[in-house]
Amino acid sequence: MAILVLASTVSWTVDKHICMGRVMDVALFSHADDCGMGKDMEKSCCDDESFTVQGQHDLKITFDDFSLNQQFFIVSFVHTYFHFVEVDEKEPNHFSEYNPPPLIRDVQVLDQTFLI
Q: What is the pLDDT of residues 19-42, one digit of tens each?
A: 888 888 888 878 888 777 756 565
Q: What is the pLDDT of residues 69-104, one digit of tens each?
A: 888 898 899 888 887 777 667 777 888 888 888 888
pLDDT at 11 over 60: yes
Strand runs (DSSP E) across the chain, as ranges?
A: 12-19, 22-28, 46-53
Give the pLDDT confidence score for residue 99 in this predicted structure: 86
For residue 46, the SS3 value is strand
Give the pLDDT confidence score for residue 7 in this predicted structure: 77
Give the pLDDT confidence score for residue 41 in this predicted structure: 61
- Map out the domains of the chain as residue ranges: 1-53
